[in-house]
Amino acid sequence: MTLTSEEKINLIKYRLDQSKESAELAAVLIEMKKYPVAVNRIYYAVFYCLLALALKYDFETSKHLQLIGWFNKNFIATGIIDSEFGTIARKCYEYRRAADYDAYVVLEKENIEILLFKMNLFIDRINKLIL
């Protein structure tokens, strides 16, 4: 997809807004003890943030693991971002996949709150790269 400079900026802002909204919703869902749905929103907050980053660098994909791989190759492996952030993205993906697709999964509040905390670190770090 070919975007004008203005369209690209607007789409990046839109993805960052989606990320922020998903993060806010995740916190509310944790308070409501809706852990599987909270995990889904935590992952998508990270995913939308990565989509915004990819847009900035003209990378397009609809594949989740391909996006994470691109991020790891271009930002983690090169040392631009600490490896902790690659781990956060992967862990959020794995939790979301388990919560959405496994037949039976037990999610504990403490673990989900830690994931939420790390998601916020991730979002803050990626925003600094984009803005």
How far CA 83 is from CA of 13, 52, 75, 89, 97, in Å, comes to 25, 19, 9, 10, 21
Question: What DSSP element (H or E) covers 112?
Answer: helix 109-130
Query: How many percent of the chain have pLDDT more than 70?
Result: 99
Cβ atoms of 119 and 88 within 8 Å: the answer is yes
Q: Per-residue confidence at 62, pLDDT binned at 50, 70, 90? A: confident
Report the b/e string of 25-61 with b at 16+ CB within 10 A.
bbbebbeeebbbebbbbbbbbbbbbbbbbbbbeeeee
3 Cβ neighbours under 8 A, 6+ residues apart: 11
Q: What pTM, to 2 d.p., does this model score?
A: 0.95
Domain locations in the chain?
5-130
From CA 126, how far away is CA 104, in angstroms rounded?
33
Q: Which two tokens stand for residue 83?
A: 């490896």
Cβ atoms of 15 and 45 within 8 Å: the answer is no
CATH number listed for the domain at residues 5-130: 1.20.120.330
From CA 78, how far away is CA 105, in angstroms rounded?
35
Q: What is the mean pLDDT of the chain?
A: 96
Give the pLDDT confidence of 27-59 residue by residue, as tens digits. Answer: 999 999 999 999 999 999 999 999 999 999 999
